Amino acid sequence: MERVEKKYGLKLPRKVITVDYGDDIGDLFIRFKHAKITEGEPTKDGQVILHHDEKKIAAIEILDITTL
């Protein structure tokens, strides 16, 4: 998470609810809070998707963890 914060200039929540790792393609999904509706927004390089609810980042998805 620190690498993502540094690379993209973010401040991510520290409370993590779930973490899912897909070892077949190396993607990592980190959920910080439960949200009924989120909107995903990719970073400019497309390596990370930030999932926002109406107020804050609810989750992040790192598409290939080896690229960080």
C-alpha count within 13 angstroms, C-beta hemisphere, residue 56: 11
DSSP classification of residue 17: -
Rounded Cα distance, 33 and 57, in Å: 8
pLDDT at site 42: 96
Kindly list the domain boundaries of the chain, sorted by start residue. 2-67
pTM summary value: 0.88
pLDDT digits (tens, 9 = 90+) for 26-60: 899 999 999 888 899 999 999 999 999 988 999 99
